[in-house]
Chains A and B, each alone.
Chain A
């Protein structure tokens, strides 16, 4: 079963507007972390933001914020004031906490965001 679901293969947003990229996850582990990465056309994977399962507040990093709804198992990324340079693939990822070394990062299929001038 998919552990990370990103239902939007592609999104368009007008420059300077806000956009929300959806991510839902599946885990039975009470301890986990959620991450968002950006992959521009150059191919590098750039870490954007992290949310821990025990964090009480939603994470924010500059123009990025994570709308964490634990009961719904969703961790949507909100980008405010979109810029042309935000056009890229965006991946949601999860790491589950375990007592042994079996930890693994699981990635969703990604959402391609295009910012329109």
Chain B
């Protein structure tokens, strides 16, 4: 597709269950980002991939959160044993390789709205 694609768009899950969120970046974009946004709040950085490797995992809030990227394309964000405070929109974004240029814009998907009940 032309843009960043995320699925599911909406997910309601019971506390304690595991969830997987998927992101399919723009074709050719080697950099991929995950952010979390709670209702009415700003964006919280979670993790960044360059290709299949994640040089910056500093934002993952706990060891219940993990992410992987295979084939330099699709990424999945997994939340184990979900808690109510995990309820948020999970936004994925992609960009061309940063390299030494800081100009490459990141483009966002429409987000996965997660509600933990």
| A contact residues vs B (CB 8 Å cutoff) | 31-33, 35, 37, 43-45, 47, 50, 52-53, 91, 95-97, 99-110
Contacts and interface: CB of A to CB of B under 8 A. Distances in A.
B111 A53 contact: no
Contacts, number: 64
20 contacts: A31-B100, A33-B103, A35-B106, A43-B89, A43-B110, A43-B113, A44-B110, A52-B103, A96-B102, A97-B98, A97-B100, A100-B55, A102-B56, A104-B48, A105-B33, A106-B45, A107-B35, A107-B42, A107-B45, A109-B42
Chain B interface extent, by class = 20 to 34
Interface of B: 31, 33, 35, 41-43, 45, 48, 50, 53, 55-56, 89, 91, 93, 98, 100-108, 110-111, 113
B43 A107 contact: yes
